[in-house]
Chains A and B, each alone.
Chain A
């Protein structure tokens, strides 16, 4: 299968996480704290999915 779902999931999470993270830095108070924290977690999760690609055969 040409489309590797691990990469798709990884990129979607990265795209969403980065937006939250950057928006968090432009915000204040609770919005800043929550968006930076969860944006960061989602970016890491997206990165992990990219790493998964190295561990198995192409999906």
Chain B
């Protein structure tokens, strides 16, 4: 692939963004004097900012580039990750779960688990979450270094260290507020950078109608029915009939229920943004506000992938996705290649700035979640409990430095082990999917016990590993992709295997937690007030026209309509 040559205007736009980011950190320094400020933004973030940060914390560049890549590989079915795999879960967390997170006054998700269950459940979640955030942040850094060196010829080490230093400066000084502000800036940069890309691409292929026509031809060429790349559900009766290799049940249960609810409802990285909101009402509205742009984002990140594959396999354009050494298309390069193809100098700088902002915000989001969980749930719980606020603030800042250093090490580990990204996804499926069962039972069944939750989580993780070890996706060799214990079942695709691993983990966790809870002693009702649905007063909205339940129903209707339109 030819390297891009940036013009001075492109560098100038990148530099403008970097100066704003550093300026935010510096200006917030004076306002960040207590743990409340550093870890929780003083609980003073308005709903619209918390909402956009809630969305953007999940909009790392791997997500943006990955969704465009999936759009090119799987077609519009990638939108399931938004319309089935995100929006309903976001509405659920806003309407039903936020009253417990915010109302319990817990400072983190692991702390909620301590209040609801016991110390060992909190410890297990805190340790696994801390490890996942560092790996995730490191992978973000690695991907940024890789992209800049491949695309622009920049030095990998210098790119990694410069990005880490920028994130360190603004998180160290401004804490969570700084991270949230930068996530909101990143949101607007992505919109400003990607909207012209979508418009230019659609003009090129003859509008939406022209794109559909080209994709129908591509689908037939690939051996699928016409319409496979532009229809969401019509080809999901048989996994062999769509490029994703999944059928409607695995899709709805695995992605739409277990994986999405497991992520959006329990991952402290996103939940922390809502917990920083200025009131209970704002905290409940945070995921609902985020759900609206989330619903629209497929048009911004997936459509470029559709255009890329239509041009590449359409055969009549000079645009071609590059090939990997094994001859298959390198879908991961969809966004960088599209930026290079459509954008002149100036706009190219804006597009690259949006990508860099995504990488750095993704990393900062992980680092802020890590420093909070480490300080409160590991250091404050097991190493030095009952220390002063200023002590924990100092530890929080030192943890930020340590977290960034560990992320850099994880980035270099990713260079050495080229499968670390796959491994990370696997760990997410093992850890996050069962956690939703724990929360579901913990919040809505007061009989659930700490022993049930802890052993349910452990058993589910082990059983998920067993399921993975005994199954293998098509065209894969036994190893990291599965089948390392023997093969009892073959899945048509990796995605189908992931969905069923998640369903398996959730089911085992649910049943094991239920069974063990039935034979162990529950906490008395007095200790569960504010932590369980049956023992918590329903929060009342102070905005008449903004009742979360009504807003959620409206959004659900809109997302349902999108599913029907693209059925």
* Residue pair A3, B28 in contact (C-beta under 8 Å): yes
B13–A34 touching, CB < 8 Å: no
The CA-CA distance from A12 to B345 in the complex, in Å, is: 19
Q: Does B412 contact A (CB under 8 A)?
A: no
B184 touches A12 (CB 8 A): no
B154 at the interface (CB under 8 A from A): no
The interface centre, meaning the residue of B17, B46, B344, B350 with most chain A CB atoms within 10 A of its CB, is B344
Q: Is B24 an interface position by the 8 A CB rule?
A: yes
Cβ–Cβ < 8 Å partners of A16 in chain B: 13, 16-17, 192, 350, 353
Alpha-carbon distance between A54 and B343 when the two chains are bound, in angstroms:
35
Against A, the Cβ 8 Å flags (1 = close, 0 = not) of B14-58 are 001100100010011011000000000010101001000000000
Residues of chain B from 163 to 206 with CB closer than 8 A to chain A in the complex? 177, 181, 184-185, 188-189, 192, 196, 200
Q: How far is the CA of A16 from the CA of B196 in the complex (A)?
A: 15
Closest CB in chain A relative to B273 CB, distance in Å: 14
Do A45 and B192 contact each other (CB < 8 Å), given the known contacts A15-B16, A19-B12? yes
When distances are taken between beta carbons in the complex, the residues of chain B under 8 Å from A8 are: 20, 24, 181, 185
Shortest CB distance A40–B (Å): 12
Report which of B44, B181, B345, B353 forms a contact with A31, defined as CB distance below 8 A. B345
Determine the distance from Cα of A42 to Cα of B196 in the docked complex, in whole angstroms: 11
Residue ID in chain B nearest A9 by CB atoms: B188
Beta-carbon contact of A19 and B17 below 8 Å: no
A34-B20 contact in complex given A2-B31, A13-B188, C-beta closer than 8 Å: no
Name A's interface SS. Answer: helix
Is the CB of B346 closer than 8 A to any CB of chain A? yes
**Is A20 touching B346 in the complex (CB atoms < 8 A)?**
yes
Contact present for B185 and A23 (CB under 8 Å): no
Q: When the two chains form the complex, which single residue of B184, B185, B347 contacts A34, counting CB atoms closer than 8 Å?
A: B347
Contact A19 B347 (CB under 8 A): no
A13 to B187, CA, bound (A): 12
**Contact between chains at B346 and A31 (CB < 8 Å):** yes
Interface centre among A19, A23, A35 (most CB of B within 10 A): A23
- C-alpha spacing A11/B21, complex, angstroms: 12
Given known pairs A5-B181, A5-B184, the reply for A24 and B49 (CB within 8 Å) is no
Closest chain A residue to B178 by CB distance? Answer: A3
Contact residues on A (Cβ < 8 Å of other chain), bracket: 20 to 34
> Which residues 62-118 of B sit at the A interface, judged by CB distance below 8 A?
none
Q: Which of B9, B30, B44, B192 has a CB less than 8 Å from the CB of A13?
A: B192
CB distance from B57 to the nearest CB of A (A): 16
Inter-subunit contact A35/B344 (CB<8 Å): yes
Q: Contacts of B345 on A, CB cut-off 8 Å?
A: 23, 27, 31
Check B185–A9 contact: CB distance below 8 A. Answer: yes
C-alpha spacing A35/B350, complex, angstroms: 10
Contacts of B177 in A (CB 8 A): 1
Residue numbers in A under 8 Å from B343 (CB-CB): 34
What residue of chain B has the Cβ atom nearest to residue A45's Cβ?
B192
The reply to whether A3 and B27 contact each other, CB–CB distance below 8 Å, is: yes
Residues of A within 8 A of B346 (CB): 19-20, 23-24, 27, 31, 34-35, 39
Which residues of B in the span 333-382 have a Cβ within 8 Å of any Cβ on A?
343-347, 350, 353
Other-chain residue from A1, A20, A45, A59 in contact with B350 (beta carbon distance below 8 A): A20
Q: Across the interface, do B196 and A34 meet the contact criterion of CB distance under 8 Å?
A: yes
Within the assembled complex, what's the spacing in Å between the Cα atoms of A30 and B49? 36
* A15 CB contacts on chain B under 8 angstroms: 16, 20
B46 & A59 in contact (Cβ 8 Å cutoff)? yes
A11 to B181, CA, bound (A): 14
How many Å lie between the Cα of A29 and that of B391 in the bound state? 60
Interface residues of B in 291-350 (CB under 8 A from A): 343-347, 350
Contact yes or no, A12 B9, CB < 8 A: no
Write out, one digit per residue, whether chain A residues 33-59 have a CB within 8 A of any chain B CB (1) or not (0): 011001100100100000000000001
**Residue from the set B42, B49, B188 with the largest chain A CB neighbour count within 10 Å:** B188
Q: B344–A30 contact, CB under 8 A?
A: yes
- Report B163 CB to chain A, min CB distance, Å: 19
A24 and B344 alpha carbons, distance in the complex (Å) = 10
Smallest Cβ distance from B199 to chain A, in angstroms? 9
Q: Say yes or no: A5 contacts B13, CB within 8 Å.
A: no
Establish whether residues A19 and B344, one from each chain, have CB atoms under 8 Å apart when the complex forms: no
What is the CA–CA distance of A27 and B343 in the complex, to the nearest angstrom? 13
Q: What are the residues of chain B within 8 A of A31 when measuring CB–CB?
A: 344-346
Q: How far is the CB of B59 from chain A (nearest CB, A)?
A: 16
| B interface list, Cβ under 8 A from A | 9, 12-13, 16-17, 20, 24, 27-28, 30-31, 42, 44, 46, 49, 177, 181, 184-185, 188-189, 192, 196, 200, 343-347, 350, 353
Given contacts A1-B42, A12-B189, A15-B20, 4 further A-B contacts (CB under 8 A): A5-B181, A16-B13, A20-B346, A45-B192
- 21 pairs, CB–CB < 8 Å, chain A vs chain B: A1-B44, A1-B177, A3-B27, A3-B28, A5-B49, A5-B184, A8-B24, A8-B185, A9-B184, A12-B16, A16-B13, A16-B16, A19-B16, A20-B346, A27-B345, A27-B346, A31-B345, A34-B200, A34-B347, A38-B196, A59-B46
Instruction: Across the A-B interface, give the 5 residue pairs with the lowest CB-CB distance, nearest first.
Output: A31-B344, A35-B346, A23-B9, A23-B346, A20-B346
